[in-house]
Amino acid sequence: MTDAVGSIDMPDAQDEAPESRKARKGGKRGKKGPLKRLALFYRQIVAELRKVVWPTRNQLTTYTTVVIIFVVIMIGLVTVIDYGLSNAAKYVFG
């Protein structure tokens, strides 16, 4: 009995690998030496960095200011919570 995909008794066509075909070792990377692979890796890094949309100086200043203000606010919040909890612990434990 067969269904749309196949059956247990008869495997699908893509499951059957011809025995005359040789197994490849490593594909494209298997044919190159380690220095060529390293050079390819760095070329790909440079190609990806060229795709990056870099912020303008004004945007960078704005983002930096926002981050610094956020960090200062978080430091203040943690300081207040720490001070409150330490005073509560002193009150409870004497």
Indicate whether this model's pTM tops 0.85: no
> pLDDT by residue (tens digit) across 42-78?
999 999 999 999 999 999 999 999 999 999 999 999 9
- The count of other CB atoms within 10 Å of the CB of residue 6 is 13
Q: What percent of the chain has pLDDT over 90?
A: 62
Structure tokens at 5: 């995909």
